[in-house]
Amino acid sequence: MTITVLGASGATGRLVVEQLLSLGHSVRGAVRKPEKAAKSAVGGVDLVALDLAAPDHRFAEVFAATEIVVNAAASRSMSRRQADLIDRQGIIAAVDAAAAAGVKRWIQVSMMGSGDPARLPGYLRATGQAKGAADVHLAASGMTWTVIRPPWLTDGAATGRITVGEQVPEGSLARADLAAVVVASLDVATTHNTCFEVSGGGRPVRESLMTLA
pLDDT (0 to 100) of residue 57: 80
The amino acid at residue 118 is A
pTM metric for this prediction: 0.95
What is 2-210's CATH number?
3.40.50.720
**DSSP assignments along 60-102, one per residue:** HHHHTTEEEEEE----S---HHHIIIIIIIIHHHHHHHHHHTT
Write the pLDDT tens digit of every residue in 89-109: 999 999 999 999 999 999 999
Q: How far apart are CA 98 and CA 178, in angstroms?
A: 23
Least Cα distance to 178 among 104, 107, 121 occurs for 107
Name the band, by pLDDT with cuts 50, 70 and 90, for residue 163: very high
Checking DSSP bridges between strand 203-204 and strand 161-165, what pairing results, if any?
A: antiparallel
Q: For residue 58, what pLDDT is reported?
A: 83
Model confidence pLDDT, tens digit, residues 35-86: 766 665 667 788 999 999 887 788 998 999 999 999 999 887 678 888 999 9
Dump the DSSP string for 93-148.
Answer: HHHHHHHHTT--EEEEE--TTTT-GGGS-GGGHHHHHHHHHHHHHHHTSSSEEEEE
Q: Kindly state the percentage of the chain with pLDDT values over 90.
A: 80
Q: Identify the band that residue 194 occupies on the pLDDT scale cut at 50, 70 and 90.
A: very high
What average pLDDT does this structure show over 122-150? 96
Please state, in angstroms and as integers, the Cα–Cα distance from residue 4 to each residue in 23, 39, 126, 197, following that order.
15, 19, 27, 23
Beta carbons of 103 and 67 less than 8 angstroms apart: yes
Please compute the mean of the pLDDT values over residues 168-177 and round it to a whole number. Answer: 95
Q: Where are the domains of the chain?
A: 2-210
In order of 7, 78, 156, the CA distances from 84 in angstroms are 17, 10, 30
- Residue 38: its pLDDT value, please? 66
